[in-house]
Amino acid sequence: MGAIRENLRAALLVATVLVNACAGGSAASVSGLPAVPNIDAYPPLANDAAPGASASAAATATAIGRGVNFGNMLEAPTEGAWGLTVTDEFIDKAAAAGFASVRLPVRWSNHASAQAPFTIDAAFLARVESVIDKLLAKGLVVVLNMHHYRQLDGDQLDPGESAVANAAVDVRFVMLWEQLAQHFAGHSGRLVFELYNEPHGRINGEGWNVLAARALRVVRKTNPNRVVVIGPTSWNSASDLHLLKMPNDANLIATVHNYAPFHFTHQGAEWVSPVLPVGVTCCSAAQQAEMTAPLDIAKTWSAARHYPVFVGEFGAYSKADDASRIDFNRKMRDAMEARAMTWAYWEFASGFGVFDPVTLSFRQGLLDALLGR
């Protein structure tokens, strides 16, 4: 019944916006529901003269080093829904293994009100903060992002999600960042914000440039110097870097994701339609050319724009054979580092995992490929 109730409230909000738009006024409160704030109240930063990275941003990009994603944990619809929760043991093991950073994907949109001011659930915020504090206490750099805001991309919602009014989606994204930035303003500079994971769909192209610039402006109100990560559209594809307009801000890092060759890295993945056939090995000369082509695009972009590039995700799904996965990880690691790119492996303990959550031990071949000599 809760989902039905939220959908009815969202529909009423849409009707409110339409009625007021026809009347030439702003969206007003009806039946006690607050009005949807106007996105123009959050103007974007200019993006016509990006200065390149500051010394602080360059140093932070270097400090990210060799990292790992704590994936399928806090970006599930609810923590644990995809089989994993963040544990102290995961944190301890990641730090002890020698990872320099943890990228922390979080689905904030599932834990915030559907009505303005879109308040983030206090208990969930405290839970995420506790994870961040434990990671920082281990000396790790933490890259905190917003992940899987399905409606923002125009994607189908996951089970258990409820839509908000269409008129509220973009401004809700900005206002969520307003809250997060204010809440974490006092945290260590080793906490890095990443505005959004893999923007695509309805925000592809110029829509993302404007929205990212709006979000960065609200972050800068309370975090004037914190390093922020921004990536291109089409799922953080290097091929879309030419479309990305970095805001006029020096404390920025760019990010791309690299899962090439996709028929190898995603073979047998249940979420890919149609499911790709298994049995694909790696890494031939042709496959290595596929792997490095996006990195070369990113390196060229970085040299021209003077922002460092962080490879926020790469990895091969467990349906591939172990020897090929190990070879892929080592060759990708070497290729990224040869281009002065830091990275975060996808991911710690799920389908791509470098760590086995059943035996509570690392898959040593994968770990050595990432961190060994």
The residue whose two tokens read 């914000």 is 193
Whose CA is closest to 309, among 317, 323, 299? 299
| Cβ atoms of 111 and 124 closer than 8 Å | yes
Catalytic member of 290, 313, 337, 347: 313
| Cβ atoms of 370 and 354 closer than 8 Å | yes
Rounded CA separation 180/31 (Å): 29
Q: In sequence order, what DSSP letters do the residues of 117-152 get, joined into one string? A: T-PBPHHHHHHHHHHHHHHHHTT-EEEEE----HHH
Alpha helices in the chain (DSSP H): 2-22, 55-64, 88-97, 122-137, 150-153, 169-183, 206-222, 233-236, 262-265, 285-305, 322-338, 364-371
Rounded CA separation 200/152 (Å): 9
Amino acid identity, position 190: R
The phi and psi torsions of 359 (rounded to 5 degrees) equal: -85, -10
- The b-or-e profile of 115-147 (16+ CB within 10 A means b, else e) is bbebebeeebbebbeebbebbbeeebbbbbbbb
User: Would you put residue 339 in left (φ > 0), alpha (ψ -120 to 50) or beta?
Assistant: alpha
In the annotation, is 313 catalytic? yes
Alpha helices in 245-284 (DSSP H): 262-265
Q: Return the CA Rg of the chain.
A: 21
Catalytic member of 198, 206, 270, 347: 198
Rounded CA separation 173/224 (Å): 19
Going by the DSSP 8-state scheme, the letter that residue 109 receives in this structure is G
| Cβ atoms of 165 and 10 closer than 8 Å | yes
Annotated catalytic residues are 198, 313
